[in-house]
Copies of this chain bind each other. A is one copy, B any other.
Amino acid sequence: MKTHKVKFLPHDEEIVVPDGENLIRAAMEAGVHVNASCGGEGLCGKCRVLIESGRVEGGTSPLLDREDFDRGYRLACRSLVKSDLLVRIPPDSEIDAGVLDRYTVPRKAAPVQQMDFDELKSKGLFIPPVEKKYIELPQPSVMDNLADSSRVIGFLKLRYGEHRLVFWLAVLRRLPDALRAGDFKVTVTLARPVFKGRKSHIINVEPGDTTDRNFALAVDIGTTTVYGQLINLNTGEILAEYGDFNAQISYGEDVISRIMFAEKPGGLDKLHKALARTINGIIRTLIKKSHIGRDEISTITLAGNTTMSQILIKANPRYIRRAPYVPVTTLYPPIRAIDLDLHLAPHANALLYPSVSSFVGGDIVAGVMGSGIYRSDQLSLYIDIGTNAEIVIGNRDWLACAACSAGPAFEGGGITSGMRAAEGAIEDFSVHPKTLEPMNITIGNVRPRGICGSGLINIVACMFEEGIIDNLGKFNRDLKSDRIRERDGECEYVLARKEVTQGERDIVITEADIDNLIRAKGAIYSGCQTLLDEVGLSITDLDRIILAGGFGSHVDIEKAMTIGLLPEIDPDKVTYIGNGSLLGARMSSLTNRIRKDVVEVLKKITNFELSETPSYMNNYVAALFLPHTNLDLFPRLKARLKAANAAADHLAGC
């Protein structure tokens, strides 16, 4: 078989592939990440790479400029390797691992709500799902030669009043040797039922006293990134945390393209394996970082959106994306970690966070648990903004949820110069009111590469307040500046000319980009409004807003209110929760009380399919303005605009 060497720059990774191999597949194999938001169909044009030497077949698409083509650029997903290659991944086609750290630490100084172990304990919420007991058993003799399992169970019954104990097969296999290695002094690991009266499972028996070694994993499975924490179950302490890109990213950037890939022959299996590989890599790192043994981990709690969860259990996600949007399940049965192809001991059990519906998944349920809104009297809005924005509104008595299809604008998708929140992304912006010259602040303070989602909000909010764009998002054609230019009847503003960027194109924001943003924010705002309408409340009744997720951690709350993405409330009542999914997963791994509550929350929560909710379309149309048709919903902004107008009138009058 003919093969070729492909070398990727600037990574300096080399791989040998068969003749005719797809170039994006080769990149994946080499461990080089290339954006491919459309799942490799040549539709998004994000996977531009520069062929520095060698020959590929194909690689063109209407999305690739003639100019780029002539300079040697190709779309990796449409290119077949036909010779040895030297391929350079331009910065804008590459995913930057810098994003990972950003996701963990909120940028803004708003209060972060975190529930800690001591708080759990003090509230009587600490009921560990996995417990270790050290026991010293009587030695067997010919007059007392009970089976090993009966000896252990009988002792636990007699001494600790334990009932309904069941051995796992994996433990039985090791039991005779473990008992004798410990001279019948052993530590038994019990997995506790969530509900009283159910069985406790004996999931491990170890020689000697190992009660101080009891660990759990909590994992948030995001579409883009996966985060894990290793937790000491005796102290609640996080011993290590680590995040990595979801290796599925090579098969498509968002859940829909993943589902489409899963529908191809063998696709589901590939996606499952990629995810398992990612999680296993994280497990490996966490174990290494915290110097514990792999077998000392007895439980792993995973939270992810419905598609990620279904891919993890290898259930076809096909019907998630098709009306009437049916997931396979909401509650997952108890699963052994090894049955999910996770590299843990055979006795380790895996708990998957339940989901509400196809688009409100386990990550959101985990966030609800982590944020505690289901235990609060306050009317809270919990919101996780991404390609889909999931919204939960409610309090201790009721909960309603919905998913809004916001589109990829907040992640830089569908935006001319859009990019993920990584080094070089413009994240803050202001404009000189007279010269209209910009001030761009980038992540990492380097030359700009593009605009990230939070940057986009800041730019549009600023331009709106400065009157550069109107409440429809259209540029004021009267303004004179070489920053503003027109192409095919559409205006755009040049934030950075290509000479000052890391790339080879001007960084611009166009009216189409602004329109994308308005539709995205309109979908979310009207989603919140619709949920409240349905329960007879109004957006002004909200007591607090909890922002979850990577994007939520970095959004400027005031600016988000200015464009009408968030309802306008006192900014002090807005909280960043960070990775709510990971927080909820960790809490569930620490206490059965939360696991029990989850079941109650699931019963309590009402899912709305917004597309089927009549009021949604009206609310949506009303929200397609900056900030909204009804400016009275944004009284503080209204006051500011009024003051600005007065000042402008005053100046004009001078």
| B-side contacts of A355, CB under 8 Å | 147
Contact of A173 among B146, B314, B325, B330 (CB under 8 A): B314
| B-side contacts of A335, CB under 8 Å | 169
Contact of A654 with B by CB under 8 A: no
Contact of A489 with B by CB under 8 A: no
Q: Are A326 and B140 in contact, CB atoms less than 8 angstroms apart?
A: yes
What 0/1 readout, one digit per residue, does chain A (167-196) give for beta carbons within 8 Å of chain B? 111001111110010000000000000000
Contact of A319 among B180, B327, B330, B339 (CB under 8 A): B180
Q: Interface size (A, Cβ < 8 Å)?
A: 47
Contact of A313 with B by CB under 8 A: yes
Q: Are B324 and A140 in contact, CB atoms less than 8 angstroms apart?
A: yes
Q: Are A167 and B315 in contact, CB atoms less than 8 angstroms apart?
A: no
The CA-CA distance from A405 to B333 in the complex, in Å, is 46
The CA-CA distance from A180 to B315 in the complex, in Å, is 14
| B-side contacts of A166, CB under 8 Å | 333
A400 to chain B, nearest CB (A): 16
Contact of A256 with B by CB under 8 A: no
| B-side contacts of A357, CB under 8 Å | 145, 147
What 0/1 readout, one digit per residue, does chain A (449-492) give for beta carbons within 8 Å of chain B? 00000000000000000000000000000000000000000000
A99 to chain B, nearest CB (A): 32
Contact of A328 with B by CB under 8 A: yes
| B-side contacts of A611, CB under 8 Å | 142
Scoring A147, A173, A335, A339 by chain B CB atoms within 10 A of each residue's CB, the highest score goes to: A147
Contact of A150 with B by CB under 8 A: yes
Q: Given A145-B325, A148-B326, A150-B329, answer yes or no on A339-B609 (Cβ-Cβ < 8 Å).
A: no
Contact of A652 with B by CB under 8 A: no
Contact of A143 with B by CB under 8 A: yes
Q: Are B324 and A148 in contact, CB atoms less than 8 angstroms apart?
A: no
- Residue of B whose beta carbon sits closest to that of A316: B176
Contact of A318 with B by CB under 8 A: yes
Q: Are B173 and A327 in contact, CB atoms less than 8 angstroms apart?
A: no
| B-side contacts of A499, CB under 8 Å | none
Scoring A318, A319, A357 by chain B CB atoms within 10 A of each residue's CB, the highest score goes to: A319
What 0/1 readout, one digit per residue, does chain A (595-611) give for beta carbons within 8 Å of chain B? 00000000000000101
- Residue of B whose beta carbon sits closest to that of A323: B142
Q: Are B329 and A149 in contact, CB atoms less than 8 angstroms apart?
A: yes
The CA-CA distance from A172 to B316 in the complex, in Å, is 9
Q: Given A173-B313, A333-B166, answer yes or no on A146-B339 (Cβ-Cβ < 8 Å).
A: no
The CA-CA distance from A339 to B330 in the complex, in Å, is 26
Scoring A144, A177, A326, A611 by chain B CB atoms within 10 A of each residue's CB, the highest score goes to: A326
- Residue of B whose beta carbon sits closest to that of A167: B333
Contact of A618 with B by CB under 8 A: no
Contact of A630 with B by CB under 8 A: no
Q: Are B175 and A315 in contact, CB atoms less than 8 angstroms apart?
A: yes
| B-side contacts of A177, CB under 8 Å | 316, 318
Contact of A122 with B by CB under 8 A: no
Q: Are A172 and B612 in contact, CB atoms less than 8 angstroms apart?
A: no
Q: Are A327 and B612 in contact, CB atoms less than 8 angstroms apart?
A: no
Q: Are B169 and A333 in contact, CB atoms less than 8 angstroms apart?
A: yes
The CA-CA distance from A169 to B175 in the complex, in Å, is 26
Contact of A331 with B by CB under 8 A: yes
Q: Are B329 and A168 in contact, CB atoms less than 8 angstroms apart?
A: no
Contact of A324 among B145, B315, B333 (CB under 8 A): B145
Interface residues of A in 24-68 (CB under 8 A from B): none
| B-side contacts of A176, CB under 8 Å | 315-316, 318-319, 326, 328
Contact of A329 among B147, B313, B327, B330 (CB under 8 A): B147
The CA-CA distance from A604 to B149 in the complex, in Å, is 18
| B-side contacts of A167, CB under 8 Å | 329, 333
| B-side contacts of A148, CB under 8 Å | 319, 326-329
**23 A–B contacts from the bound complex (CB under 8 Å):** A140-B324, A142-B609, A142-B611, A144-B324, A145-B325, A145-B609, A147-B326, A147-B329, A148-B326, A148-B327, A148-B328, A149-B331, A172-B313, A172-B333, A173-B313, A173-B315, A173-B316, A175-B315, A176-B315, A176-B316, A176-B318, A176-B326, A176-B328
Please give me the 8 A-B residue pairs with the lowest Cβ-Cβ distance, nearest first: A149-B329, A145-B324, A142-B324, A147-B330, A142-B612, A147-B327, A173-B315, A147-B329
